[in-house]
Structure formats: structure tokens, C-alpha cells
Chains A and B, each alone.
Chain A
């Protein structure tokens, strides 16, 4: 079995449902993403159009992240998924330097590397990844590439000549395909990031990698810090009435 993904960019309407479903399913912290949908405007008015590109881990057959990981925290599952064992990760960020697709992030809560796992926990239970289930137009197609009768295999066969992968020159042999893409949508160097053009979000770069509140010394002290035990009362019994004006 070799699991793979295909996104038909002709169908994607940029609703970001997959992005939200992924966040919820995998409890992805703020400032991090496993799957994101990028909006790209192409052309000039009045001949302009907006394209949407969902981006996630490519689960490469020849994964640079797996090769560089010094402790095998990134490893292959039998079904071809490149999985992460965050309990083993040392947080060296080598995988972030190796992944040509920028798909790996340093989780700010665990200070370990993390990424899309094709919802390996759901697949183990016979379910589809959360992003596939939520997609209203079935633009996300997921399945076994080794099975000629699977939906993804048949989709690839039906769209021969139009199926692309990102950065094929890297020889990573990605198992994530696109239909309906082009250089402008799939090549980040063919896109400009112009100050002031971004919708809703003016933050273009994170100013931290991993936990923003954990400096170098804190990383050493973290295991010895005591955490107050939380219960339901902790969340309702605030001790800030004075500063809030006594309400």
C-alpha cells in the first residue's frame, strides 16, 4: 500500500474548510499549520483571477526530512506515510531545513517538529483524513496509489499529462499530486509577496521558531518547572476582578 493525495485545483474554491478541519482534528496550535490554502492573484485588472493552492506535506518516497532526522523521529509507516514521533524529536530543526516544501513546523507547545501525517490516526481506524471529509467539492482525493482501482489511481489515469508535483527537480518523489496547477500556483519563486497586498493578515513572517515564551535557558529549565493542576474551576474562578474594574 502506498497512500497518496491529489488536489484538483480546478475544483478548489478556497473555502479553507480543509485548513480548519485539519487544525481541529490535529489540535494544531496558533501560528502553526499542517495544511494551508494559499490565495494567489494572477494577471492585472480587468484580466485577473484568483487561484487557491492547498499545501501540505508531500509524503515523499525519498523524503529529505526522514534522511536528515538524527533520531528517526521522522519515519515511514508501512503505508508510505512519513510520520512524526514527537516524543523522540530533539528539536534540531534539521527537517525544517531539509523539506523543500516548507511543510514542517516547530510546535510552539511541545517544542518539537510536527507536520501533516495524512491523519495517520484516522487512517488506522479506517477513516479518511479530516481535510478529505470536509471538502465540499471533493477537490481532495486520497487513496492507495498501488491499487489501480482506487479513486486516486483512476483520477491520475484520467488526467494523464495534467498531473503535477511540486519541485520535481528535487528528486523527492512526492506522493502528493496536483491537477490544474501551473508554475504560478506551484512555484513559490514565481509568486511575489508584496507588502499591503495581503488580505486579513499583515504578519508575513513569524518572529519565533517554536515556543515564543521559551528562551534558550527556559528550554533547559522546562522539565523542572511545576505546573499548577488544572480543573474546571481553574477556568471559571478568575482572580482578576480588580484589574478588570470589579465586574
Chain B
């Protein structure tokens, strides 16, 4: 009977225009994921430099800004390519609107990338004294080596708002209620620590076991709290009808349910146990495997969280 398929108190849309589908797609997922690595390596790198002597991590001084530089540029590239008018990106600098977290974020991220570039150049030429001996840039970088240590605290400080401003963009995207959660800010920070530790694990082959143990500790804590955050959202979803309707795409099975649980298990649960195990006995290969899983899982979790709120009709 029709009343069993169409609830008598509900309404059925019988004529409407075609609605937009997913507006912010995989490029924005990649953008957020790459930024997590770009800022995360600086935050985790600063933690390592605070805890250990530089000799224990011989290449950290230049690999940290290099990794950050690469992923910040991936982030900036996909920010640009996602624009429908990419050449007008310059308007953010010529006609900035300061109530927009997109504007504030673009300015901060640009400054952050510029500073990381300086660190990378100084760090690389310092670590490789025989490279480009006659190059003016290389010599200038070597001559101003002390600038690295002066800039670094400011870069670490700037990495925090650059990590977090995306959560403010999400908060300003007031049509998508799932993103209007304070947990979003903490999620961005945990994602950066997770991605930063995972990326540094991949280049930590020649570091001391103690430094690697600290990386495993950061990875374990970040995966644990990231998982808790997502579980909190998953189970406390009934705070509003919109959030509930959004999370139905995860609760009720389907492609997003699969992607979500793959992200949770591969990205958070498995790396957590490997990282905890690695704190007892150092196993570089297994820890690298955990790092790769964490990065893949983080991408999947972010992808689901970005897309499902866009599935709901807004009007």
C-alpha cells in the first residue's frame, strides 16, 4: 500500500530543478590532506628538535622544510585548480575580505609557504656544502645559516593557525551542519600531528631509535584521538535533523559507509596498534607501513566528511 512507502505526513517533491551534486570534491580533500602534512611535519619536527639533539636526526633540518614545501605546494596547486576562475586568485590579495576564513587562510598559508621555502633553502645548502659552491643563492643561504634558527619559532607558531583555519572555513560553510562542530578544530590539529608524524617516519631511517619512538608515540596519540573524535561524531549524531540526515550516509551502509570504516580501521586503528607496538621494539619497516596506512586512511576519512553533507538538498 502506498501509505507504507510514502509516509502520510511527509511530502513528496514532484517537480523541481536539477540540484547541484558534490561541489567541493576530491581536490578539496587532497588540499586538506596535503596541508595536514605541510604543517604537521613542522609541528612534529619542532617537538623532535625540542626533545632530541640534532645529531640524532641528521637530515631533519632540511627534510622537514622540504617535505613541508612539497605538500604546501600541492595544497596551493589544488586550491588554485579548484577555482572556476583560477587567474582571479590574485583578487584575494588585491581585494581581500577579512571576514572570510578563505582570505585570512590564503594570506597565512602564503606567508607560511614563503618562510618554509627560506628554511628549506638554508637547510639544504647547509647540509650539502659541496653543492653549487659558486651559486650566489647557495652562498647567501650558507652565509645566513643562523636565520634558520631565528625564523623557526615563528614558523612553528604560524603552523598552528594555518592548520586550523580550514576548520573555520568549515564553520563558515553554514549550510553544512555536520561541519559546524567544535570537534572540527581538534580534528584538524590531530590530522596535522598524524600526517606530520607519518611523513617524518618515512624519512627517519637513519635517526636514533629514541627519536623514532617519539614519532611512534605522536602517531599513536594522534590516531587514537582522531578515531575518538570520529566515533564521537558518529554516535552523537542526533544533535540536529540535518546532522542526522547527513550521517545517515555513513550509518545506513553504501559507498560512504565502506569508505568511512576503511578510513577508521586502516587509518587509525591498525596504525595505532603498530605504533604502540613499535614503542616497545623498534621495527622500521612495520612503522613505515603504519605511516602509509595512516596517510591513506586520513585521506579516506576526510573525503567522507567533506562529501556527505553536500548530498542533502538545501531547499
Smallest beta-carbon distance B175→chain A, Å: 4
- Digit string of A85-96 for contact with B (CB within 8 Å is 1, else 0)? 000111111101
How many residues of B are counted as interface, with CB atoms below 8 angstroms from the partner's CB atoms? 54
- Segment of B89-97, B213-221, B228-236 engaged in the interface with chain A: B89-97
- Digit string of B91-105 for contact with A (CB within 8 Å is 1, else 0)? 110011101111100
Check if A97 is an interface residue, CB within 8 A of chain B.
yes
From A70, A72, A92, A197, residue with most partner B Cβ within 10 Å: A70
- Check A198 against B91 for contact (C-beta < 8 Å): no
Cβ 8 A contact of B15, one of A45, A172, A184, A200: A200
Contact residues of A between 178 and 215, Cβ < 8 Å to B: 184-185, 188-194, 197-201, 203-207, 209-211, 214
Look across to chain A and name the residue whose beta carbon is closest to the beta carbon of B87: A223
Q: Which residues of B contact A36 (CB under 8 A)?
A: 16-17
- Check B10 against A190 for contact (C-beta < 8 Å): yes
A210–B85 CA distance with the chains assembled, in angstroms: 11
A11–B241 CA distance with the chains assembled, in angstroms: 30
- Check B11 against A41 for contact (C-beta < 8 Å): yes
Smallest beta-carbon distance A67→chain B, Å: 5
Look across to chain A and name the residue whose beta carbon is closest to the beta carbon of B179: A97
Smallest beta-carbon distance B194→chain A, Å: 25
- Check A209 against B11 for contact (C-beta < 8 Å): no
Look across to chain B and name the residue whose beta carbon is closest to the beta carbon of A85: B95
Cβ 8 A contact of A112, one of B8, B84, B106: B84
Q: Which residues of B contact A220 (CB under 8 A)?
A: 86-87
- Check B20 against A216 for contact (C-beta < 8 Å): no
**7 sampled A-B residue pairs with Cβ under 8 A:** A39-B13, A44-B3, A44-B8, A50-B14, A89-B88, A91-B85, A102-B175
- Check B11 against A100 for contact (C-beta < 8 Å): no
- Check B23 against A96 for contact (C-beta < 8 Å): yes
- Check B315 against A64 for contact (C-beta < 8 Å): no
Cβ 8 A contact of A94, one of B169, B241, B314: B169
Check if A103 is an interface residue, CB within 8 A of chain B.
yes
Q: Which residues of A contact B82 (CB under 8 A)?
A: 92
- Check A99 against B314 for contact (C-beta < 8 Å): yes
Q: Which residues of B contact A190 (CB under 8 A)?
A: 10-11
A188–B102 CA distance with the chains assembled, in angstroms: 28
A40–B15 CA distance with the chains assembled, in angstroms: 7
Look across to chain A and name the residue whose beta carbon is closest to the beta carbon of B102: A70
Q: A90-B83, A90-B85 are in contact. List 13 more A-B contacts (CB 8 A).
A: A38-B16, A38-B315, A64-B174, A67-B99, A88-B95, A90-B89, A91-B85, A99-B175, A102-B175, A106-B84, A190-B10, A193-B12, A204-B19
Number of A-B contacts (CB under 8 A): 204
Check if A132 is an interface residue, CB within 8 A of chain B.
no
Check if B6 is an interface residue, CB within 8 A of chain A.
yes
From B81, B89, B106, B313, residue with most partner A Cβ within 10 Å: B313
Q: Which residues of B contact A64 (CB under 8 A)?
A: 172-175
Smallest beta-carbon distance A66→chain B, Å: 8
Q: Which residues of A contact B76 (CB under 8 A)?
A: none
Check if A122 is an interface residue, CB within 8 A of chain B.
no
Q: Which residues of A contact B103 (CB under 8 A)?
A: 70-71
Check if A81 is an interface residue, CB within 8 A of chain B.
no
Q: Which residues of B contact A128 (CB under 8 A)?
A: none
Q: Which residues of A contact B106 (CB under 8 A)?
A: 70
Q: Which residues of A contact B129 (CB under 8 A)?
A: none
Smallest beta-carbon distance B121→chain A, Å: 28
Smallest beta-carbon distance A94→chain B, Å: 6
A40–B9 CA distance with the chains assembled, in angstroms: 12
Cβ 8 A contact of A219, one of B86, B99, B242, B245: B86
Q: Which residues of B contact A207 (CB under 8 A)?
A: 21
Q: Which residues of A contact B10 (CB under 8 A)?
A: 184, 190-192
With known contacts A44-B2, A101-B314, A68–B84 Cβ distance under 8 A: no
With known contacts A71-B95, A102-B313, A207-B21, A194–B175 Cβ distance under 8 A: no
A2–B19 CA distance with the chains assembled, in angstroms: 30
Cβ 8 A contact of B18, one of A45, A93, A96, A204: A204
Q: Which residues of A contact B99 (CB under 8 A)?
A: 67
A218–B313 CA distance with the chains assembled, in angstroms: 29
- Digit string of A27-52 for contact with B (CB within 8 Å is 1, else 0)? 00001010010111111110000110
Look across to chain B and name the residue whose beta carbon is closest to the beta carbon of A220: B86
With known contacts A189-B242, A219-B86, A39–B173 Cβ distance under 8 A: no
Which 9 A-B pairs give the minimum distances between C-beta atoms?
A: A91-B84, A102-B314, A39-B15, A97-B173, A70-B102, A111-B84, A184-B11, A71-B91, A70-B103
With known contacts A38-B16, A39-B16, A44-B8, A98–B174 Cβ distance under 8 A: yes
